[in-house]
């Protein structure tokens, strides 16, 4: 592998990519090889309160810190909100990045860095990372789900990530499920999967049932479910069975309608262990039609690296049929 400080061999450098993950507090930028290795990276604060222009300047500055950045073929950027993949414009965003909606990410960053720039939603970027380099590599169709503070993901059909007519494809958290009836969702509606199956939803449910607001996180709930044979363990098992079960049933419904080759689950909640995976898989399997009945969800492979590596993979999507880079669009 080319060392990060010396990406000088023309043949490999020509295919290097840049990936950036912009969050409300931190921005991570990395130089990525064409086979998905993160060669070098930096993490810097996001000056969110100073507005979009300051955030764009900070992104450009972080990229310029990366040795070999000027040799990259293009830059991909992943961020929260709804992003128009074709134009690279933020359609809508939440309060973590004030004023972010309307920001012309691709155009503004191309102007600052003189590179082709592709932008997309962070859940799509996670899906693209796993599809290109991770647990779904080689699949023509797959369903990717990220479960953390929210629930999002992406759908691959015909080897391509589906964006949908309004850039919201893969928003699995906003499927109405019976387990969430009456519960408020982050989108402002009620009864959605995210309101019962996200990490904060399950933690809040455990606290509600035990009456203890002792700051227990989801990992501690999972540990109780695994090891405690008493009432706290029973409650932990019930809470995980409810949240993971709701997700499993919803995913099985998607599998029955899409019939994908693979289902990949990532995000912080997916790494809490068997106490989560067991009820998820049981609920999933119970709903499957005979055709896909042998399918089981598998864990994502790339972990936190997916954010930068998947953003870089956006650049690969913009190559033409012969594999040549497309020119910058602005
Ligand atoms: Zn919702």
DSSP-derived pairing of the beta strands 117-121 and 75-79: parallel
Ligand 1 centroid, distance to 256 Cα (angstroms): 22
CA-wise closest residue to 230 among 211, 216, 210, 248: 210
pLDDT of residue 9: 44
Cα angle 82-24-304, degrees, rounded to a multiple of 5: 85
Ligand 1: centre distance to CA 78 (Å): 21
Q: How many Å apart are CA 123 and CA 100, to the nearest integer?
A: 17
- DSSP H helical ranges for 217-289: 218-227, 231-258, 274-287
10-residue mean pLDDT profile of the chain (330 residues): values are 45 74 97 95 97 98 96 95 96 92 97 97 97 97 97 96 95 96 95 97 95 85 94 95 98 98 97 95 98 98 96 91 63
User: Which residues fall within 8 angstroms of residue 208, CB to CB, at 6 or more apart?
Assistant: none
Residue with tokens 């602005």: 330
pTM: 0.91
SS3 325: strand
Task: Give the model's pLDDT for residue 12.
Answer: 44
According to DSSP, the residues that pair with 20 across neighbouring strands are 29, 77
What's the CA-to-centroid distance between 186 and ligand 1, angstroms? 6
- 185 alpha carbon – ligand 1 mean position (Å): 5
Q: Using CA atoms, how far apart are residues 131 and 33, in angstroms rounded to an integer?
A: 16
- Ligand 1 mean position to 57 CA, how many Å? 32
**CA 2 – ligand 1 centroid, Å:** 44
Calculate how far, in angstroms, residue 131's C-alpha sits from the geometric centre of ligand 1. Answer: 25
The whole-number pLDDT of residue 328 equals 55
Across 26-150, the runs of DSSP E, i.e. the strands, are 26-32, 38-45, 75-79, 82-84, 89-92, 117-121, 142-147
**CA 190 to ligand 1 center in whole angstroms:** 7
Distance CA 268, CA 288 (A): 26
Distance 237 CA to ligand 1 centre (A): 25
At residue 327, the pLDDT reads: 60
Delimit the domains of the chain by residue range: 10-126+305-317, 139-300
Tell me how far apart the alpha carbons of residues 203 and 182 are, in angstroms, rounded to a whole number.
17
Helix (H) or strand (E) holding 123: helix 122-133
Distance between Cα 99 and ligand 1 center (Å): 22
Report d(CA 186, CA 177) in Å as an integer. Answer: 15
Q: Does 139-300 match 10-126+305-317 at the fold level? A: yes
Residue 277 phi, psi (nearest 5): -65, -35
What SS3 state is found at 21? Answer: strand
Distance 24 CA to ligand 1 centre (A): 20
Which CATH superfamily includes the segment(s) 10-126+305-317? ATPase, nucleotide binding domain (3.30.420.40)
| Ligand 1 center–CA 77 separation, angstroms | 25
CA of 208 to the centre of ligand 1 (A): 21
Record: fold of 139-300: Nucleotidyltransferase; domain 5 (3.30.420)
């Amino acid at each position: 592998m080319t060392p990060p400080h010396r990406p000088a061999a023309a043949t490999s450098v020509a295919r290097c990519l840049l990936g950036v993950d912009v969050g409300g507090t931190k921005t991570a930028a990395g130089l990525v090889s064409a086979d998905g290795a993160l060669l070098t990276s930096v993490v810097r604060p996001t000056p969110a309160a100073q507005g979009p222009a300051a955030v764009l300047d900070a992104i450009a500055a972080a990229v310029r810190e990366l040795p070999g950045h000027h040799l990259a073929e293009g830059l991909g950027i992943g961020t929260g909100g709804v992003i128009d993949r074709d134009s690279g414009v933020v359609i809508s965003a939440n309060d973590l990045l004030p004023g972010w909606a309307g920001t012309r990410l691709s155009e503004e960053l191309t102007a600052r860095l003189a590179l082709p720039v592709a932008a997309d939603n962070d859940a799509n970027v996670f899906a693209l990372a796993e599809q290109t380099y991770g647990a779904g590599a080689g699949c023509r169709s797959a369903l990717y789900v990220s479960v953390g503070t929210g629930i999002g993901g992406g759908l691959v059909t015909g080897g391509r990530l589906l964006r949908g007519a309004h850039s919201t494809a893969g928003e699995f958290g906003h499927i109405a499920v019976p387990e969430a009836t009456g519960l408020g969702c982050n989108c402002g509606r009620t009864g959605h999967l995210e309101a019962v199956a996200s990490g904060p939803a399950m933690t809040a449910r455990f606290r509600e049932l035990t009456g203890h607001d002792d700051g227990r996180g989801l990992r501690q709930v999972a540990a109780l479910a695994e090891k405690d044979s008493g009432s706290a363990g029973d409650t932990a098992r019930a809470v995980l069975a409810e949240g993971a079960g709701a997700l499993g049933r919803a995913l099985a419904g998607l599998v029955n309608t899409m019939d994908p080759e693979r289902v990949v689950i990532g995000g912080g909640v997916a790494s809490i262990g068997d106490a989560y995976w067991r009820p998820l898989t049981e609920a999933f399997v119970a709903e499957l039609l005979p055709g896909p009945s042998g399918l089981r969800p598998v864990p994502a492979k790339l972990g936190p690296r997916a954010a930068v590596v998947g953003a870089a993979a956006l650049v690969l999507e913009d190559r033409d049929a012969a594999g040549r880079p497309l020119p910058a669009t602005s």
